[in-house]
Every structure is written in C-alpha cells, then in structure tokens.
Structure 1
Amino acid sequence: MDALAPLRMHVLWFPDWPLRAALGAAPPHPPTALVHGNVITACTDSARAHGVRVGQRRRLAQGRLPALRMLPHDTAQDERAFRPVLRLIEAHAPGVHLLRPGLAALRSRGISRYHGSEEQAAAALRQILGEAGYPEVRIGVADGAFTAELAARGSGDEGWAVIPPGDAESFLAPLPLEVLGEPELAELLRRLGVGTLGGFAALDALSVRERFGEQGARLHALARGADSRPLTPRAPDPQLSRRVEFETPLGQSDQIAFAVRQTADAVMLALADASLVCTEVRIDLTDDDGAVTSRTWLHPTCFDAPDLVDRVRWQLESLAPPASDSGQDSDAAHAFRGIVGVRIAPVAVDDAAHHQPGLFGSGTDERLHHAVSRVQTMLGHAGVTTASVSGGRMLADRQLLTPWGERPVVERDPGRPWPGNLPDPLPAEVFTPMRPVHVTGAGGAVISVDARGALSCPPALVDDSEVIGWAGPWPVHEHRWDAARARSGERFQLLDRQHRAWLVFHSGGSWWAEGRYR
C-alpha cells in the first residue's frame, strides 16, 4: 500500500444529476435525453429501458424511441443547480468538496463522530436530503473517494453502503476495468488477459509504472484501494465576489488601494456569513478602454482584508512602466492607464473552522507568517521569496524563487533523470549569474579540453590563487537543437591554497564560477 493511507470518505452521488438539473424534479422522469454535439450525454431510466444509451448518436436514439424528448445539455446549469445542494450538505457537515455536479465528498471523521458511526452518519445525511427533495441520493463510505463513489453506485435498497477500513482492495477486485474511466487501458489489459481491478492490482507496481507511466501507476493505486489523492476545495459561490466602479478613472496605486478597502471588507463579510475563508483569489482590473487585466493570487493560510488590498496594489504596480533614471518620485513611478473598476473574486475557499486560532493563541507559524507578510508589504510582492528545488543541470536552473504566499510552480521535475547534473553535496553558494574567473595552467598556460575530455595541462591558478587539488572535467551539453539556449562545456571542481572549493564551468575558452563550497 501507499505510504499515505487513504482517508475515510463519505461520497454522495445523485444519479442522473444533469437530468435532475434540466427537469427540476426528482425521478422518475419521462423518457428524456440530454444532447451535446448530436451525442447523448445523459438519459433517464425510462429511456434506457427502450435501448437509449449515453454516447449514442441522436438519430440512433430517436430510432430506438421516436417519442424520446431531447434537451440541450447545459453544463453551467448542472453547476448552478447543485450549489443549493452543497449548501444544504455543508449546513449539516462542514467541509464538503465538489467532485463534479451531482457528486460530492466529505471526510468521514467529523460527521461520524457526531452521529455515532459511519452508518448512522450516512443514514442521517440521506434522511436530511430526502426531506429536502432529493430522495434519489446514494451514499458510499470507504477508504478514499474512488472506492466510496463505487460503493455509492452499488448501494442497495438502503441507499448507502459502508466498506470497512482496509477492505477497499477486496471490494474493488471483482469490478470491471471500465470503472477506471480509461477505455484504452481497459482494452489493452483485456488483450493481456486482465479483465478486473483485482487482476490489474495483482501486477507489479514498478512494472506498471514502467509500461504505462505515471497515469498508469495512479490507476494501479486506485485498483489496489490506495486512493490517497487530496481533495480540492469546492468552487466558491459567485455571490462571494464583489466589484467597485469608479466614476472617474484612477491612475495611482495608492488611490485605488484606498478605494477598494470597503470592497475587500465586503468580500470578507460575505465569506464570514458562509463560514468560509479564502485561500485563492482572482483580481480583475478594468481600465478606461475596457481592457481587463486578471491575476490569481494564492495565500499560505487564508486572506484577510488588508491582504486583499495589498494584492490589488501589487497587481497595479506590475502594470506601471519602470521608473526612469530621471529621479521621478514613487507616485509617478506607479502611474498607469486609468482604472475604472476592480473585481475581487474568491477562487478557492475552505471551511473557517480549519483556520481558527488555537486555544492559547496563535502558534509560531502564524506569527512568522504575519511578520513576513508585513515585510513583504513594505518591500513589494517579490521582496520576500521562498526557495524550492527544480530540475536542471546547472545550479542556477535548480533553484526556484517564489514570492511569499505563492504556490511554487515547478516546471522541471527534480525527480526526473538529468544526465550531466551535479551529484550531492552541492555548493552552498550559487552565483546567479555565473562570475567570470581566470583559470590557467603552470606559467599562465591556456587550458583547453579536447573532444575526449583530455586537458592540455592541469589547472594551476584560479584568480591568482594556487590550485592544490582539482577534479573533472564533466561535460555538459544541452539544448543543442536551440541555438538561443544551446550550452556546451565542462565542469571542474578546484581547491585553492586558501582551502576554498570552487565549481567552475569552462566553455568556449572562458571560465566561469558557478558556485562555491563552504
């Protein structure tokens, strides 16, 4: 099993939700199908009884049932209709997560403790939803959302099913491969003689990863009941967003930041009324030409009103042209095209109970966050950064600096093989950009490296300091197909008389210091 054990989850499934959203009533429904691009995307039980199936062409479905009622499928309507259901669930079980319209999940621990057991919690949720007009809901409880969803789909007359802890793999074993939602993989495995999740789970995990890649490894983990994927926060209600319009276009960041303070307070009040906090926000700036500039901001914990104002200011300052050397003041430097509107829209929210202070006040991490955020407010968005490890061959490529509060976006996976990269231990000091140094042989001889890696003479001096030890060369060749990014040369490690260890790079007859060991 995976090192991270799956969480116990309650998954609530509303069968044929797109039809419920389109028809506005609980089943049973008359023979009806939803169509998108002349293909059936959903159909009622009464339509399925006449041979209508999801994925059929419109003409074929009409041939099976000429009286079939067909409606266009509006996915936005599915989401709008499901929001009241989410609010209803959250009123009795905070922390609900939207998986997709008609399917929601929540962690079992809290609600099970409140009702006494997982079974009683499922029965209580089903009763609440049934009384609210959703008697068709099915509930599954299991290790991980994947297994819990399948348990909900297979629930019997009671409308809920509980898979005991640790029994996910045995429950999944007899199910067909099609439940993974990967028809191509299912067809390939069937040709190999594997037809069930149990057969797939019995395959060696390393072999599956080598043959099918990361996606295949994830599906293999699901088949073994090892669903440890974290749940993503549910999409916030659009009513949480707030907008302010200016009668006269404003052209300075301080003016606009002052004007949006009440708007930021209104966003926080709307979140508080819903017992939510915002962890990700989008800010839209509209100028006097009607152009909209949008940016999404993240927060390591959750936003408060001053944080939102700071993000507005930083986004405005990023639009300002760079200050010239003519000595203009900071207000002029932060001038830009007139802004006539600002919209603050929460993108990701979380239950406020998860962010309440401790019994004895804020902890060390929270005090650190407030201190660093205050420094960032004084220095600007990029004034305080956190370091992450990225993939690459050169030291400068392997360090990723992200502004405080932003989620690091690692474009180059450090876990992938990088032929030619430097093994541990790495230099403690990295020069960005690399510094030019002077490396010569005895008597000032020029050092060259031939195609076989042989040196014309050993290094003797580095910046007029005697070299008492050296290692290398290690060739580095990358991006040969791209003339603008191509790089080719050799690395050396040099130890001088002062016992300073250097990592140097030789390319095109020049020498550069890439880093220094402490």
Structure 2
Amino acid sequence: MAGTRRVAALWCPDWPATAAAADAELPPGHPIAVLSANRVIACSASARAAGIRRGMRKRQAQSSCPEMTVVTADDHRDGRMFEPVAAAVADLAPTMEVLRPGLLVVPASGATRFHGGEENFAELLVDRIAVSGTESQVGIADELFTAVLAARSGHLVPAGGDRDHLAGLPIAELAAEPSLCGPDRADLVDLLRRLGLTGIGAFAALSATDVGTRFGADAIVAHRQARGEPGRPPSAQALPADLSVEQVCDPPIDRIDAAAFAGRRLAEVLHRHLRERSVACTILTVEAITERGQRHSRTWRCAQPLTPAATADRIRWQLEGWMTGGRSRAHHARPDSPIGMLRLVPAEVVDAGALQQTLTAPELPGGAELSERARRSMERVQGLLGGDAVRIPVRSGGRGPFDQITLVALDEEPTPERDPSAPWPGRIPHPVPTVISESPIELVDLSGQPVRVTDRGAFTTEPTTVRLPDRRDGWELRWWAGPWPTGMETGAASPVSARAQVLLDDSRALLLAYRSGGWMVEGIYE
C-alpha cells in the first residue's frame, strides 16, 4: 500500500566539481571545472554563472572564464571526498545505500517518524551536510527512482503520487541518473523522442506488453520507473552460504596504497566465489575493523552487477574516505587505529547471466568466461606496469582509421576524444579496416614507374602492382578505387592528401594513404 514505504534521496549537485574544490582547498565561490577527454563534464555554480557549460572544450571554457581552476576527472577523489557526507547522514539515518559519490538513499519511513515528519527530516539532512560546506538537496517519494529525480528539484512527492510527479517531466529525465539505468538508456531516450514521446507521462501510458515486445530489457525497467512502480526486487534466491569474504591484515593497514592493494585482492577473491556459485552482486557492504575493534561499514547499490574492477574501486574509495576523513576536520570519522580486518558482504545477488562483458562477445560459447579471464590478465599487467600501461580502444569520431579510435587506460571511463555520432565529411566508408598499419609501400604502373597523385587528385598513371620498397616483385592489382582527396587528420604522423582502396591478387584488400609524395598501407580489410 502506498505510504507504507518511503525513500529519501540526498543529491549533491556538481559533486565532481565540489570534491575537486574541497580537495584543492579552494575558497567558496571560486569557479572550477572538471574535464574528461578535454571537455567539461562538471563545473561549479560560479563557473556556470560565467558561461561554462558541460561539453565545452577546455580552450573555450578557459577563454570564457580565465580565472577558473581546471582539474582532471578523478573517480577516486570523488569517492574519497564523499565519505564525510555519508558519515554525516549516517548520524541521522544509520541504514543507507550509496548509489555513487554525490548521491545516496535512505529508508525514510522510520527516520521521518523519529525526526518529526518528512519536511523536518529533509531540512535536517540539508543543514547537517551544509555544516561541511557542501550543498545538497533532498527528495522523498514512494520509490527510489522517483526520490532521486525529486531530489534534483528538492521536492517531497506525496504518498501515492510518484506517477503523477513523473508524468510532467521531460523524457530525458529517464536517463538523468546513470546509477539507476542501463548503459543504453540514452539511446532509448533518443529513440522515444524521435517517436514523438517527449514526456515521461506519454511513455508511461504505453502498455507494458507493447514496451516489452518492441524494446529491450532496460526499456522495461525504464517503463516501470516511469509508472512509479517498484524497482528491481531483491533476488528471490537465498544468498549462498559463506558468500562474504574477509581478510586479516597482517601487518595492519595504515597507508592508502596498502589499503587499495588489499582491497583489489579481496575483490578478486569475492568474485571468484561469486562465479563458483553462478551469481553476481548488485548491493555490496564494505566493512573495516580496526585493531582496537572500531567498526566502519558502508553499503553501495549499483544498477548493473558489479565487476571485479568496479568492486575494487568502491573498496578503494571507501577505505580512502575512512582513512583520510575525506580531508575534513571530522576526525571522529577516521579509524582510531590501523585496519586489522577487511570484510565484503554481498547484500543482494542476481543470476550471473546479468553480468555482461565487453571485451569479447558474451553470447558466443565461453565468451563471458574468456572476457573475464582476459580482463583479469590485463588488470594484473596493469598492476605490474602502471595504470596507463594497458589501454583499450574506444570508438571515436574522425575521418581516417587512426582518428576513429581513442585509446583509454583500462578501468577509466571509455570517453572518446571526438564524438563518433557527429558528421565527418570525407570519412572512410564502412566497413572500416580491421587492422591499422603505417607500412610504406610502392604503387607502380605496368612499366614499373611509381604512381603518384596529381594536384587535381588523380593517379599520374594507371596502377597495376603493389610492392615493398626496394623490391622488384610484388602483388598485382585485381581491382582499385580512388584516389579521393582528404585533409590533415589528428591521428596521422603527416598530412594525408589522398586515399585509395586496392584488391590484391591474393584476395587481400588494402586501404592506401598518399602522404608526402609516397604511399603507405593505412589499413587491411580482413
């Protein structure tokens, strides 16, 4: 029955910027922007007042507000600095779940009765957080999703009024909180908008059958959220026995680097146990016990099942937050002695099929297992060689094959340097080469003379053979296309003035690039 269960969400606006400003000990009101892939992803209110907006390039943002401080995005900093906020809320409502740094939820029914009503409880939360110099907003509703969106406007939704509150919001709000939606939610919102559904109420009016047959699994979740229906219920299966893992720290941990290392090892142990029982964790409690017996505990909720890397990140954020007190003056939040024991307790699990991997196709036989093994291997190499030593490709925007790939460090947010959905006139057509190369070759005509590109973008003579430099033999051409002119591209070592495609007599297809008067193999089609 509506009203028997209420959820309060506490949201700290612009948390990455707030955490960065606190970490740098900047004065209140000083403009600051957080950048990722050379673009603004968060900024302070004072920076917005100066014209800074999300998505701006670094150079444009600095020219708009020269006195602004610019910092790089850092998830570990965000998590570490959020611990004093979580600790302050825990003083008022001990049971809570952290969705991400900057956002947490608490069961509101008991807390509001104890503190004299929902309005009093919300004001108390905001005032308690304001003591540490952090702005926050509180939303209360029947369901978690509604409460999170309500927190963005500081709204207390009446009991039973979730659907009515959501109906007036734009459809983009379905993807406003990444911690409560799947990775493809933005694509779903774009599709719904193109179908003419511009408000959440219009989407909620569709029948569940129509949504389930037309869209994917996350659309079903979004539809339930739009209708104000209960979210994902706890797993129907009982938690497997002995699923929690713990580690006695010998010697006790008193350094952040040692804590991070221990947390990563414990995360690997936990996920090995989860794999053995064919389950994945969605709600995790991190516990630390000091030598003197002081206990610290925090619960994290995730929309998607946790991976070993995501678990290790949350352990590190939590331990850093406890051990440094978020660099706040609340010394009571810090452990009273070195940490003697770490424990991980899965509070909710789902079937392991919900855990999707991206390094290989999980639908292939053994794909998920191979993906997980590959990722663990790369994480070990990363641990030995450093965070930037292992990089993975992310599809990016651009004209040439080098431009269309951005290499990012493993476990960093896969943010491309250039928008792949933007128009790129002159982009090489699909399919793109599967192998990228920069190997010099010679393109010659029937008489063995080099074939070049004229000022008008044509071959000087008809090409017949591709051969390696200083070699008389080569591969005859069965077919060729081009050349077509192009321009300077960011991934190239030198300007590319033309490209051509050729099919060799051994059935290999090559993408050739004409640079500085010579030809290179830029890509191989397989």
TM-score of the two chains, using structure 1 as the length reference: 0.45
| TM-score, normalization by structure 2 | 0.44
**Highest Rg: 1 or 2?**
1
